[in-house]
Amino acid sequence: MGGDPGIDLEHLPLSSGKEHMKRTPRLASALVAGVLALGLTAGMTESASAAPSDRAGGWLDRQLTGGLVHNDQYGFDDYGLTADTGFALAAIGGHRKALRQSSRALAKHVDSWTTGVDFASSDVYAGSVAKALVFAQTVGANPRSFGKANLVQRLSARISAKKGIVGRLQDKTSGTDYANTLGQAYAAGGLSTARSGKADEAVAFLLRQQCSPGYFRLYFADATAKNQNCDGATKANRAPDTDATAIAVLSLQSIKHPTPRVQRSIAAAVRWLVRTQERNGSFGGGPSTKAPNANSTGLAASALGQAGQCVPAKRAARWVAKLQQKNGAIAYDRSAIKGGITTETRDQWRRATSQAAPGLQFLSSC
């Protein structure tokens, strides 16, 4: 699945490791703050005294070619990872030139990113559309005219109106529907910011993916299942997922006027994150990535910091900081440091850095 150009991995299933598909909207920091970050310093220079998040931002900036992240191993432009990089740069602040270039490049390729047009297919990848909408909002572009696409309309059409699954994000496809909680979170935050008539339904379905202990699961129930709630699923289908939980929290935090139900959901998820943090400050991901890693820990740091949980956010940020290299890149874990950055491993380093870098801001402030 890694070599197909134009396909964003939000809509694909997990394979050998979740680090290869995670997507993180910098929702709370980018959407709540609007595009304030874009008005800060135009460029960041790296030095020994630069803040860890700024050094990470500098490394991410250098991963862009013509505004896009290019995967040299498989020879394709990775639109989804480009958006992740943009989210991180916007949250860190500055890098306006890079963000402008990425916005133009992704707008130009928006159909390749979000649909099956490159394969003569009428498929629409719902998770990719949701991420594209949030990206356009984050960089201050018009989401109703991004390239030639009305992303609000395109995403609204992927929100189910069918009884029993109202609000559920769905791919338009003749094959398997891979929409999941990550995409649902993008959709909930993006449609709420766009004031779409489908926003409340998308938010409500996202909340149904939260189990009573406070965490969010990654995968939905089968669309034909009578019970679409997390608590109603079998144990295997309601496994806790740190990444889905953190992304859901960031998404819900981005809602300008949250309902009491949304506020309770955020509070419950944050409490779960605090309870499950390891003593050393780290977090594992879901069932396939239980070991501590920079992606999950960085996401949790951002969610906790945005929620005002300064102590656990700082502990998570400190753990991530130990994985940062002198050039600013952040390793997925300690074993990744030993392997270094090669053509084969660069994708993992880029994903880890884009997801973990914003959390480093909580080393010094909250």
pTM above 0.75, yes or no: yes
Q: What is the pLDDT of residues 234-258, one digit of tens each?
A: 988 999 999 999 999 999 999 999 9
As a whole number of Å, the CA-based R_g of the chain is 18
The phi, psi pair for 115, rounded to 5°, reads -135, 175
**Residue at 33 is within a domain:** yes
Q: Which two tokens stand for residue 25?
A: 């909207």
pLDDT per residue over 48-69, tens digit each? 558 999 999 999 999 999 999 9
Residue 1 lies in a domain: no
Residue-level pLDDT at 290: 83
Is 3 part of any domain? no
The per-residue pLDDT for range 275-297, each reduced to its tens digit, is 999 999 999 988 878 899 999 99
Q: Does residue 2 lie in a domain region? A: no
How many folded domains does the chain comprise?
1
Contact 360, 317 (CB under 8 A): yes
Residue 4 forms part of a structural domain = no
Domain harbouring 73, CATH code: 1.50.10.20
Answer yes or no: is 341 within a domain.
Answer: yes
DSSP letter string, 259-274:
-HHHHHHHHHHHHHHH
**What is the average per-residue pLDDT within 318-325?**
98
Pairing of strands 76-78, 68-71: antiparallel
DSSP assignments along 307-360, one per residue = TT-HHHHHHHHHHHHTTB-TTS-B-SSHHHHHH-S-TTTHHHHHHHHHHHGGGG
Q: Tell whether 152 is covered by a domain.
A: yes
Domain that holds residue 194: 9-363
